[in-house]
Structure formats: structure tokens, C-alpha cells
Amino acid sequence: MFIFFPLVSPLNTVFIVLLDLFGLFLAFSVYWSNKSSNINKGFSLMVTTILAWVNFYYLAQYDNSTFWFRLANISVFFFFIAYYFFTIKWFLKKKRWYNYFSWFVLIYGLVFGFLALGTNLIIPTYESIGESVTRPIFSSFGWWSFYGFVITITLIINYALIKEYFNYSSERRTRILYLLIGLLIFAGLNIVFNVVLPGFLTIYEYYELGNYSVIFLLGFTAYAIVNTFVVAERDCNS
């Protein structure tokens, strides 16, 4: 039995506001630290899409409509596009087969994102659970197309980061380690609160905690970027 209480609306609102402020602060700080860098621009795009995801899901809890869930869904597709390009193309600078897969990620994410928003193929409806929780209902096609994409991109990013971790110097390893820590905490909490609890234990009251775990991903990623910039500046001046 869970002995802690479900997140109530006022507390959710506080979390959303704090997360938005923190995310915007990181986005602007990282962008202005090096405005010409694709890495910094990519991080700002990641923040925009991930905040859209969390905020749209929050709004869906207070409006009896699939509209906000569909906006949250397209935001997730766009976030994983941005996250893939940020990590694989710009941070790790991977090439070869990653170049071809990048086109797949971009086209797939855009097509299915807009399908999620404009059709019933992904999220045909929603359901209310108790007095305060509303969740989207995925079609079978939608479930596999959405979670298949998310899981595949997450595994590829993890594989690339772990592989590169053992191929670089200690300083480079440290920066990759920050990305891995943020991703693993984010993915782990999402698995617990967004998959295990609702999918296997039919407990939906804590779904937002998985969404709020993006704070770890954003924080560690921002630190890795700023650390990279500081080290580069130090090397240029030495």
C-alpha cells in the first residue's frame, strides 16, 4: 500500500510553474553562453518541446478533451527528434549509419506527431479515473507507434553514449557521464511512474512525477554543455 498522498491540483500547479521557470532559465542561459553552437540551440529546442509536453499533459487533467493529450503526444515526438539530433549529431558528432537513421527519426517523428494531433489513429479518446486523474487511451497502432519510437530512440542514445564513454579522454568521459546520469534518472522514473505503476498496478495518481523527472535530464544536460564550453575556452587560452 502506498502511504503518500496523490499530488493535488495546487501542488501540481506549483511544480509546473517551477519547472517552467527552471527550464526557461536553463534554455536562455545555455543559448546565450554560445549562440552560434548547434549544441546550445539544440538544447533550447529540447527544453521548448519538453516543457510543451509537460504543460499540455497538465492542462489535459483539467479539460475534458483529447485535444491537450494530442498536443502532449506531438510534443513527445518532437522532443525525441530534438533529443536524438542534439545527442547523436551535435554533441557526439556521429556519422555513418547515424546519418541515414537521422532522416528516419525526423520523418517518422513528424508524420506520427501530426497523425497524433490531427487524427484518431494514435489517441482516439481518454478516460477519467477517480475524481482527479485523466489519462489518454492509445489505440493498438498508436501504442506501438508511440512507445516503439520512444524506446528505440532512448536505447540508441544510451548505446551511443555508453560506447563513446569508453573511447574518450577523462574530461570527455565526464561530460558524457553527465548526459548518461540525466537520461538514466529521467528514463528510470518514467518507467516507474508512467509504465509500471499505471500499466501493471493500475495506479495512475503519480503519473505526473514521471513527467516532472525531466528536471534531471535538463539539469545534467545543461551542465554537460556549459562544462564543454568552459573546457574549450580554457584550452584556447592555455
Would 233 be classed as within a structural domain?
no
Would 237 be classed as within a structural domain?
no
Where the chain has pLDDT below 70, the residues are: 1-9, 64, 130-132, 169, 171, 199, 228-238
Alpha-helical (H) ranges within the chain are 9-33, 38-60, 67-84, 97-118, 140-165, 170-190, 197-200, 207-212, 214-237
Residue 8 DSSP one-character state: P
**CATH for 202:** 1.20.1070.10
Matching residue, cell 516532472:
212
Would 181 be classed as within a structural domain?
yes
Would 117 be classed as within a structural domain?
yes
Q: Give pTM, 2 decimals.
A: 0.85
Would 123 be classed as within a structural domain?
yes
Number of folded domains that form the chain: 1
Would 13 be classed as within a structural domain?
yes
Would 41 be classed as within a structural domain?
yes
| Range of the structural domain that residue 160 is part of | 9-227
SS3 (DSSP) at 122: coil
